[in-house]
Each structure stands twice: as C-alpha cells, then as structure tokens.
A and B are shown apart, each in its own frame.
Chain A
C-alpha cells in the first residue's frame, strides 16, 4: 500500500471558532487509490476537518497547509476544491428533489450548445455515469421518486462527472439499509481500483474494518493516531480504544447521589417516523428513572435518542404507536406538550436555537415562557413577578448579562443554555430530559451546567441526560442506557460502565435488556 504516492496531505490544520478550538494541529495523509477512514466521537472534529478540506471553511480561516498533488492549495469555496478534483458528499444530500437524475447530475455544470443546454449530450453522459455507479434507473426519473440509497449513487455520479480524484463521504451509509450499504461499499472499492481515493467518515465500525486501508482517529480536535488496517491488524475494539481512550480528569463537580424509588417509567415505547410510516424510530423501548437519579442515554447520531425523548415529551416527535408512561405508580397520558409540562416533565432540546428559544425574545420573557400561568392572575401576566423571577435565576445560575431585559440573541451559547435551563426549572419539573445540554458550549460553562444538573438531582428530581460525549455520561450519570437503531440495547450502572463497553452496545444490538 505504502508504495502508492501520496495524493493529499493536510498538515497541522488548526481551526478555531470563537471560544472553541475545533481542530488543533490535525494532520492527515491520503495515498492515491486508498480508502481512508476517519473515526472519532460526535464533535471530535471530523466534519470540521472535511469542511476545511472541501473549502467550506475557505483558505485563511484556518492555519496549516493542504498539499494536494504536491501543491499547496488555497481553496476559497466548494467550487474551487471541486475544480481541483476533491468532491464532498454530505450526510444530507444536496440534490433537488423535483428535478430529474440527469438535471441533478449536471446542475451548475450544464453542457451547452449555442447557449442552450445540450440535453442529448447530458443524457448520454448521464447514462455512462449511472452505469459506472451501477444504477440502472431511467435518467429522467425525478430524484424524489428514488430511494436514499440510489440518491447517494447519483451524488457519486455527479462527483465522477467532475473527474474527481478524492471523494469525501460523510456518513454515507447512515440512512441506508444493509443491501444498499453493501452496494455502496462495493462501489467505493471499485472506484479505488480506478485510482480514486476515498475519505470516509463513518460511525459503523464494522464497515470501516471491512473496506478501509488506513484509519485516522481524531479525538477532541487532535489527531490521535493513524493505523494501517492490514499492517496493524486493526479490529473494532482497537478503533474504539482509540476513539474514547481519554482520561477522565476532574471535569465534573463532586457529588454523592441520594437515589430514591422509581417514580417514572416508560414501557414498550414504539414510535414511527413522522413522514416514512414504515420506518420505526423508537422500537419497544422501556426505561425507568428514580428520584434524585441522573440517567444517561448513550447512542450515536441517528440512533433515536432525541426521537425517544421528544416522543415521551408530549408526542412532540413522530407518530406515536404504542407504549405506556407511569409516574408515581400511576399511568399517565401525555398527548401534547402542555400535558407533559403539567405532569412535571421538562425537555431541554439539543437544538437550542431552533427548538429551545425564541431568539427575538428577551431573557425575562424567555425564562417564564413555559409556565406563564405561574405568574399570571387569570389571563394577565404580572410583569413585576416576571422581572423578579428572571433576576433570581440570573443570580442563581450566574447568567452573564447586563440586564434581564437584554435579548437572548445577545448571549453566548453557554448563557443561552442557562436561560433554557432556567426556563425549565421555572416549571417545577419532577423529571428533566436534557438533550445534549452542553453542545457547543465552552469548557467553563460546561462545568457550571454540570453543577446545575447535579443540583437538580440533589433536589430529588429525576434527570435523563442524553449526550454524545461518553466522558460526560460516565462523569455524571448513575446509570446509562445505550440506544442503537431505535432500540435500547443495554443498561449499565455507572460503576461498571467504561467507554469500551458503552461503545460496543452503542454500535450493535447486543443483548436484550430488561429494565431494572
């Protein structure tokens, strides 16, 4: 393998966002005609690295060099990286559903004759390209009428049309079924035979083990190691160790849990995808929460964690099929969000800006927005109570702002998250579901938010903590459920949990779990 020449080298790439260092001196070397996998936890920096490579973050916004075919490249946008022969295929496909396969392949790159689009050439080329990727559909078929697997192939055909030399695939098989995945992997192997290198980001370690020639592992924005699959005898366990093997320093406040009885229980929960009826997003899941307990939910992206949480929280996601919720021994119905709030549930969304806050609103109004009745006489909101309450949370959660009259859009991510937490604490919940409560937040604010979570548990509330960061779960939770493809695969007490066992349960439907 090492005999092949190096086609691409990323040298000491450092990329900073305000307050966060996403990549720190990351290096990556790709040889001609190899399949190079990039592994790492959610948020490790994989996607950022690929965005640097493909010009989404243009030259000048990062430090370090991209050396491609022996030259230092200065990509200023995706077009310039594509022109050089580097194409990225995103998780979310960039195809226009209402246009045909041919139209999509040539979108922005249409062959012309006398100033008009030359559809005859386009169609002929499209047929050739489709044959290369093994797609036998009529090129006039609309994109919306073919499945995700085939759409993925159209994306690749589109890239091949631009005479690509390095193909970047971001979670290419995440949305595909077994057969489609296999076809895609075969295709990538076939392209390798024709001298096209692929860089593949995937959470499916078995696939990586199957097709990759070499693997670069990234953790916390750092390159941990680069492995040669054959020479180093790489297997799944070896990759997992690289991905999670970081030390758990005292990044968490001390806590002695005082855990009471089970007060909240979900039994045999089944939920369908809101659009695609045959797709089950939550499968027969059951879980319990005790008073004063922090229950972790671990799972990779798309495993169904958020879907589980939101469907419990007043059926705010998907089509509810079946299942029961018990609170304090009694079965309760949570048909909408208002009922869920009335029953003492709170849900802090993973997507603060889209689902957690009204960014046009000010701090005080945001804090009271989920339970206005608490500060109202009949239909009339009491402004002075609102102000007093907002001030109380500003002090107790240390929200950094000159005034609670300030707009929430002026706050940093950490302070916005504190406002969201205040909003839900104000509803006096018995159970808080926190979905990625520290996403996009700097280390200092994280520590403070961990403290708030522990304080809530100390008050005897139940907390369900969903997180992509295993150290966070291991550091905070008393018990951790793992989720894989919509089903709960395991329940591990914190004392016996370690990153390797968690990662195993998160990547395979290992054992049937019985709720404790």
Chain B
C-alpha cells in the first residue's frame, strides 16, 4: 500500500483525516452530513445556529439524549435493543426528586441513589435478557411500562421539584474565575486543553504507527487534520466562552464529554469492549473463543440503565422538577442516533463516536427547524424521513455490494486493494447449508 499510485491516493489520505478506513466510511459520510446540515441551517437562520446562546442551549438540551446514545450503541452492538430508557430515566428522576424532598437527602447522595437505582433496574433487566434468555425487545418493552408506572406511583402522577444544588448537573455552567477577560476563563482553558490534546493524540498516533512498522498517512494529512480540528475547537471555544454573562459551557456537556471519552476507550481498547463486538458479531464463535456471552449481555444491559438514570437526573436538574411525562420517547431518539451513526441492526457494528455524530445530526436538525419556526409536528416527520433515508441508503448500497454512499462515490478505484482471490465455496456433503446459521451480512 505504500506505493500508492492510484489517482485517488489523495482522497484516501484525506479520508484518513477522520480516521476513515474502508471500514468506517459510513461515519465519514455522516460527519459530512452533519457539517452540511450545520452550514445549511447557519445560512437559513441568518447565523443564529452558530451563535453562543444557541450552541449553549443545544448542548444542554440534547446532552441527555447523547448520553443515552452511548449506552444504546453498546446494547445494539451486542445485538439487543433497549426500549425502556425513557421510563428508566423518569423513574430514577422521580426517586431522586422524592428522596431530596421527603427525606432531605443531600443532593450528592441523591445522585448516588439515582445511579444505584440504575444499577438495580439494569441488573433486573440484564438478568432476564442474559440469564433467562428473554429477547431484550420484550424485557425492555415490559420495563418501559413498569418504570413509567413506577414513576407515577411514586410521584402520584405529580411533579416533584428539586433543590438548587442538584440543578447544577442539568442547568449549571462552568463558573467565572480569574481576571475579567470578557470571556469565561474556564471555558477558554478547557478549549485550550482540548486543542493541545488534539495535537498530542495525533502526534502519538503517528509515533505508534511508526513503531508498529505500518505506514502512517503523509505528514501534510496529519497537519491538515490537526489544523482543521483545532480551528473547530477554537471557534467553538470562543462561542461557548463568549455567551451571555453567567452562561458558558454547560456542566452537562462536560459530563457528556467525559462519558464519550470513557466509553470510546471502553469499546475500543478494553477486553470487555472487544467482547461486546464479538458477541454481537457472532455469538457462537465468541462463546467458542471463551467469551462469557451471558455476562457480557448482562453488563451491557445494566450499563444502559445506569446511563439512563444519569440522563434522567440531568433532565430533572435542567427542568428543576421531575414529572410523570419525563423521558417520553427518548428511546426512539437514542436508537435513531445510533443507527444514523452507522450501527447495524443485526449487531456487531457501531461506534460511540459515530452514534454521537448521529445524535448531533438529529439535534442540529431539530434545533434548526425550531429556529426556523417549523412546528413540532413537521419536525417529527422530517426526523423520521432522515432516519429512514440515512439507513435506507446504507442498506441499499450494501445490497448492491457497495460499502456505503461514500464507498460508492469512490469505488471505481477500489480494485486491487485485495488480491482477486474468490472465496472458496464448500462443495461438500457435510453440514448442509440449511442447518448453518446464514452468513452474517456485513
């Protein structure tokens, strides 16, 4: 591959800017869709989309959906689904709110209580999915009813307010410290740290590639990548830091950022993460490789409920009260984000970052249409169509033997990447094809 004589070499290198190999072309495509949508709405709303106030609002308004998407992508990679997340969020919210109101539980303990609720609910649902073998669709459909009802039993179908300290996680911002600069200093610092981190990560990646003896992308690609990313980071930092006095980067956004980093690491770099992909990709092969698939399924379902509880608490903190209608149809937003972000319905495929980008596409779309004054009814129709078309284009391309939209556009130069050696078909009277599990479609 080092002797890259194909005329498309430049384009392939360009794709490497976003880590796009042949395996994650769909994420590459969806990232461009996100940029396109942002630019489109920026134009249509006369610059309102990328204003400080709107950006800050966007983050605090959608952080809980994106947190759900993180858990959901792991559930979907493992080959399941979780329909109960909205109800679990509502249940955890009401428990926490009630505990603070009736028992005067201090808010930090209340947050721990909320997470404990998530652990218990997750253990319950995980038990049914992993150890009894009830499909997650059914278990979480039941959970959707149970926890929604539970919310209304505990709160008497009323709204329960939460105290001030607690609201920080949902509606708090980075505080003002240090000298007056006209910007929020902590947000500037955060932006600086991220900008430097981008450079360090890229530099380290190149070094590792060299040590491993694989050919890294040309230097100009790395530089362009770092410059582009840092430009985005700096632009966003200035916007977030320069909002109305008293606002800055939301605390919920920081929680989200930390979770994205943490779960990206878990899914990409840990044994557990590998096992999640293995179970979703081919459960039988995973089990024959010593993977304890039941434990993996249990933990994945449990993790989802913990994140749902956290999302529920952030929402309650943002709306200053827990109500009976909290978290309604969140599961659908989270699932849509995951599939727009490139996950496969059959499991085994998907990434945390992809799902976040997918969730952002939905968030920007929602937000932009609202700014334009489009009614909630029409917004729903548009979101539904976007989901259908995004996944539809992908599925159709795959059925045509093409990797994705981007793969389609660039496929002419694809020949010669693999030796033209056809896979051997098995002409044997051994295990008949009819009893074999059908090939996992990629």
Contacts and interface: CB of A to CB of B under 8 A. Distances in A.
Contacts of B7: none
Interface string A400-423: 111101110111111110000001
Contacts of A468: 428, 430
Contact of B282 (A46, A91, A357, A439): A357
B288 to A, nearest CB: 6
B425 A17 contact: yes
A440 B426 contact: yes
A384 interface: yes
Interface residues on A, range: 35 or more
Given A357-B285, A358-B348, A43 B428 contact: yes
B434 A381 contact: no
Contacts of B418: 401-402, 406, 410
Contacts of A18: 422-425
A439 B290 contact: no
Given A358-B282, A358-B348, A381 B430 contact: no
Contact of B422 (A47, A412, A416): A412
B430 A354 contact: no
B434 A19 contact: no
Interface stretch (A69-77, A321-329, A367-375): A367-375
Interface in A363-413: 365, 369-373, 376, 379-381, 383-384, 387-388, 391, 400-403, 405-407, 409-413
Contact of A400 (B419, B430, B439): B419
A440 B439 contact: no
A353 interface: yes
Contacts of A442: 424
Contacts of A351: 431, 436
Nearest to B289: A370
Interface in A451-473: 468
A416 B285 CA distance: 14
Contacts of A359: 281-282, 439-440, 442
Given A22-B427, A42-B428, A355 B211 contact: no
B290 A92 contact: no
- Which of A48, A380, A401 has most chain B Cβ within 10 Å? A380
Nearest to A382: B269
A354 B421 CA distance: 21
B244 interface: no
Interface string A20-33: 10100000000000
Nearest to B77: A360
A379 B271 contact: yes
Interface residues of B, number: 50
Given A349-B288, A355-B284, A360-B349, A380 B277 contact: no
Contacts of A337: 287-290
B286 interface: yes
A301 interface: yes
B430 A439 contact: yes
Contacts, number: 177
B432 to A, nearest CB: 5
A361 B424 contact: no
- Which of A17, A400, A401, A442 has most chain B Cβ within 10 Å? A17
B1 A362 contact: no
A358 B23 contact: no
A482 to B, nearest CB: 18
A364 to B, nearest CB: 10
B269 A381 contact: yes
A155 interface: no
B284 A360 contact: no
Given A42-B428, A406-B418, A412-B422, A354 B436 contact: yes
Interface in A284-316: 301, 313-314, 316
B192 to A, nearest CB: 28
Contacts of A127: none
Contacts of A383: 208, 269
B278 interface: yes
A351 B288 CA distance: 12
Nearest to A47: B429
Contacts of A17: 424-427
A103 to B, nearest CB: 20
Contacts of B288: 313, 316, 337, 347, 349, 355-356
B410 interface: no
Nearest to A385: B212
A351 B214 CA distance: 32
A5 B278 CA distance: 58
Nearest to A411: B423
Nearest to A388: B212
A29 B241 CA distance: 87
Contacts of A406: 418
B8 interface: no
B417 interface: yes
A287 B310 CA distance: 56
B182 interface: no
A43 B430 contact: yes
B274 interface: yes
A350 interface: yes
Contacts of B440: 358-360
B435 interface: yes
A66 interface: no
Contacts of B426: 17, 413, 439-440
B271 A355 contact: no
Given A42-B429, A301-B430, A369 B424 contact: no
A90 interface: yes
Contact of B434 (A90, A314, A355, A376): A90
Nearest to A349: B288
B437 interface: yes
B422 A19 contact: yes
Nearest to A358: B281
A338 interface: yes
Given A358-B285, A362-B23, A43 B427 contact: yes
B272 interface: yes
A110 interface: no
B213 interface: yes
Contacts of A282: none
Contacts of B434: 90, 92, 94
A208 interface: no
B292 to A, nearest CB: 7
A133 interface: no
A180 interface: no
Nearest to A306: B431
A338 B272 CA distance: 15
B21 interface: yes
A91 B429 CA distance: 10
B427 A91 contact: no
Contacts of A90: 432, 434
Contact of A379 (B213, B272, B422, B432): B272
B285 A354 contact: yes
A45 interface: yes
A211 interface: no
Chain A to chain B: the 8 pairs with minimum beta-carbon distance, closest first: A440-B426, A22-B427, A18-B422, A413-B424, A358-B281, A17-B425, A338-B290, A370-B289
Given A338-B292, A354-B282, A359-B281, 5 more contacts: A353-B439, A369-B278, A370-B290, A379-B270, A468-B430
Interface of A: 15, 17-20, 22, 42-48, 90-92, 94, 201, 221, 301, 313-314, 316, 336-338, 340-341, 347, 349-351, 353-362, 365, 369-373, 376, 379-381, 383-384, 387-388, 391, 400-403, 405-407, 409-416, 423, 436, 439-442, 468
